Each structure stands twice: as structure tokens, then as C-alpha cells.
Amino acid sequence: MTPSRDIGRLIEIMAALRTPGTGCPWDLAQNFSTIVPYTLEEAYEVADAIARGDLAELKDELGDLLLQVVFHARMAEEQGAFDFGDVVQAITEKLVRRHPHVFGDARSSTPQAVEGLWQRIKAEEKAARNGWRQQGALAGVPVALPALTRALKLQEKAGKVGFDWNDVRAVLRKIREEADEIEVALGGASAAGQASPAPEAAAEVGDLLFAAVNLARHLRADPESLLRGTNQKFERRFAAIERALAAKGKTPGEATLDEMDALWDEAKAQERRMANNE
């Protein structure tokens, strides 16, 4: 097998890997369930390459993600369910169907109008698939989504039927309320002489996270992207702490918390100075 720009060659390679007797033992041992973690991982690596602005790596990661699609399609073909061509046909039909403002007579001149049209067509498709079977307002949000993203999707669906705040400050008050409930739970654990924080406090943290997602939604921001950016900021500033300590011949384990806090503040100030100079 030789490399090629033709998607057909990739499909042939995948078929060869899944051929009993001559294929790859690892590939042959996989099924839909065992491949799912790799599919999710590759999607995250695509997002990571985009966040870092690394287009060369993005090319490679998109290839890895495409391989996941081909892998799943091959396993389905082996079961007589569908093949890669059916996948392509399904998505092209869906794109044409959901873009009547491009391929039909409908007119939508703004991104908001297009999104509304897309959601209406999507809802009609779901209703047609499910017949007269009634679904709740929160139906259709995949359980396997990252928790922050799933919280966002659930809140969006609830908001569409009126279960939502109209004022972003009300969401902020809810966050303060949840933080207060954590403090109460921690106080109860201390009064009871518990060596570790009460389970109630941990549960309240979940409520706090859910409220924080809601705040991000009301600010029209994606919570996953926000947290990813904060993670990168933490990594960057902690690396600055390590470099500063290394210059003194020390490691973080040999430094005091006060010393590391001071270096953190210094790294934070340096970033602000650099941002102001740009």
C-alpha cells in the first residue's frame, strides 16, 4: 500500500488492517465501544492544535480524526449496516436539507437567522424519526459529552422553553449562593469533627460548576474554551515559576508556598506588561 491523496486509498488500507488472517491483530480486536475513547481523544487533539494555532499539527490531527470515521464505517460495513459511502451520502443530504437558504428558496441573511433555521429543521428531523413518541425538553443531549459542554447544552434546551434567567447578574447571585452553601457544608463538617470535608460540600461544588457554566452561557462564551484557556494560562505561569526557581538552583518542592505565590504574581504582572506593549 502506498500513500495517496485519494480517500479511496485510506478506505482500502483500513479494510486491509481489518482483514482476518492478514490484517493487524490490534485493529481486528477492536469494536465500536473500544474505539470510542480514541475518537474522543482525537477530537480533543484537533481542538488543542487549533487553540495553539499549529496548522501543521492540525493537518495531522484532522487525519487522525478522519481515520476514526473510516474505522467506524469499516466495522459497520463488516456487520452489513452501512459503509463509508453511506456516511458521506448522509452528511451531504443533511447539509443540503439544512441549508435551504443556500440550496433552496429560503432566505436567511444573518448568522442568527441561519442558526434558528438550522435548529428548526433539526427538530423537524427528530420528530420525523421518533414519530409520535413524546420527548422531554432536555432530550437528545449525548451523555458522553464533556461535563461542561453537556451542562451548557442542557441549559440551552431549558432556556428555549423559558426556564432561564433574563439577567446575567441573577446568574452571578446564584454562583455566590452556591459558594455560600459550600461554606455552610464545610462548617457543618468541622462542627461534627469530621477529618475530611463533608460529601455535601463536594456535591455543592458540582452545583457551583453548573452555575459557572450558566454564567459563561449568558456571557455568550463557551465554558470548555474558557477553561481550556485558563488551563493553558496556569501551565504557562507555573512554568515561569519553575524557571525562576531553577535560576536559584531550586525546585518547586524545595520552595515555600509564599515564595511560589510571589513568583506567580511576578509571572502574571509580566504577562500584563507584555500584553500592554503589543
Cell numbers describing residue 63: 487525519
Mean pLDDT over 203-227 rounds to 94
Which residues constitute the domain of residue 216?
Answer: 143-221
CB-based contact 174:211 (threshold 8 Å): yes
Cell numbers describing residue 4: 495517496
State the CB neighbour count (10 A cutoff) for residue 156: 14
End-to-end CA distance of the chain: 50
The model's pTM: 0.68
Shared-domain flag, residues 195 and 250: no
Residue 135 lies in a domain: no
Residue 137 lies in a domain: no
Least trusted range by pLDDT, from 71-80, 106-115, 129-138, 234-243: 129-138
Domain count, the chain: 4
User: Which residues, 6 or more positions from 267, have their beta carbon under 8 angstroms from its beta carbon?
Assistant: 236, 237, 240, 241, 244
Residue 136 lies in a domain: no
Shared-domain flag, residues 16 and 51: yes
State residue 193's pLDDT score.
63
% of the chain beyond a pLDDT of 90: 66
CATH of the domain at 40: 1.10.287.1080
Shared-domain flag, residues 15 and 89: yes
Shared-domain flag, residues 178 and 153: yes
**Structure confidence at residue 140 as a pLDDT band (50, 70, 90):** confident
pLDDT exceeds cutoff 80 at 38: yes
What is the C-alpha to C-alpha distance for residues 10 and 3, in angstroms, rounded to an integer?
A: 8
Q: Residue 48's closest CA among 39, 38, 57?
A: 57
Shared-domain flag, residues 90 and 26: yes
What is the C-alpha to C-alpha distance for residues 171 and 151, in angstroms, rounded to an integer?
A: 14
Shared-domain flag, residues 150 and 204: yes
Cell numbers describing residue 275: 500584553
Residue 119 lies in a domain: yes
**Structure confidence at residue 191 as a pLDDT band (50, 70, 90):** low
Mean pLDDT over 208-212 rounds to 96
Shared-domain flag, residues 23 and 73: yes
Model confidence pLDDT, tens digit, residues 50-87: 988 999 999 999 999 999 999 999 999 999 999 999 99
List the Cα angle 128/88/99 in 5-degree steps.
Answer: 55
State residue 113's pLDDT score.
82
Shared-domain flag, residues 112 and 168: no
Shared-domain flag, residues 206 and 232: no
What is the C-alpha to C-alpha distance for residues 42 and 36, in angstroms, rounded to an integer?
A: 10
Which of the 8 DSSP states describes residue 237?
H
CB-based contact 148:227 (threshold 8 Å): yes
| DSSP annotation string for 19-63 | STTTS-HHHHT--HHHHHHHHHHHHHHHHHHHHTT-HHHHHHHHH
User: Which residues, 6 or more positions from 18, have their beta carbon under 8 angstroms from its beta carbon?
Assistant: 24, 27, 28, 74, 75, 78
Shared-domain flag, residues 113 and 33: no
* Arithmetic mean of pLDDT over the chain: 90
Most confident of 66-80, 154-168, 173-187: 66-80
User: Which residues, 6 or more positions from 32, have their beta carbon under 8 angstroms from its beta carbon?
Assistant: 72, 75
CB-based contact 88:31 (threshold 8 Å): no
Shared-domain flag, residues 74 and 116: no
Residue 249 lies in a domain: yes
Residue 138 lies in a domain: no
Shared-domain flag, residues 243 and 271: yes
